[in-house]
Amino acid sequence: MSRHGDIGSSPDTVGTCVFQYKMPRLHNLKEVNENIDRICELVKGTKLGLPGMDLIIFPEYSTHGIMYDKEECMATAVKIPGPETDKLAKACKDNKVWGVFSITGEQHEEHPRKQPYNTLILIDDQGEIVQKYRKILPWCPIEGWYPGNSTFVTEGPKGLKISLIICDDGNYPEIWRDCTMKGAELVIRCQGYMSRTHPSRLPPALLIAPRPHLPL
């Protein structure tokens, strides 16, 4: 933050907001879409108040909420792209900002025979989904997500190379290593779980800027 309350940004610096969003408990698609509308308004308001913001990041489970009920989980799973992500894309385009959003869940290709994915999307300031990452290591046995199988690197705002990972993925060094070996300069780890007893007390999103030019 700079002294006047804006987010510092320059031609070679990415102004970033990690939004502390309370994890909701939602039960149907109507409630999910109402929550998405609130998130879109927050994107608008945050950009208005912090015009130096280039990138806004929301935590895991912030869009659909935590789904403890299997039937509700399957009923609220959506396609990417779809009407729900279209709203988020429009918010990014209208406010000229990049965004990271959680989709829990994304319909499996064999929906409803298989469980949904736990997915993060990176949307650019033109409203295009430029990265879709599916959680590789769901937190078993609590989470019932279908696992993804790959990390990705995308050129983000001002050329910054970005990888997305989710929560428990970050407990395994192989995931970080895979991102950095592919050229990531920033690894964004979004999560919805904060342990009151674990010494790390991790925040809803953890930004790690590796130095890929050094020997691994």
Residues with catalytic function: 60, 135, 167
| Cβ atoms of 204 and 194 closer than 8 Å | yes
Residue 90 CB partners (closer than 8 Å, separation 6+): 40, 127
Closest CA to 57 of 165, 200, 211: 165
| Cβ atoms of 199 and 213 closer than 8 Å | no
Closest CA to 191 of 116, 137, 123: 137
Q: In terms of DSSP bridges, do strands 55-57 and 98-106 run parallel, antiparallel, or are they unpaired?
A: parallel
2: left (phi over 0), alpha (psi -120 to 50) or beta: beta
Residue 159 amino acid letter: G
| Cβ atoms of 125 and 76 closer than 8 Å | no
What SS3 class is residue 88?
helix
Give me the residue label for tokens 């709203």. 87
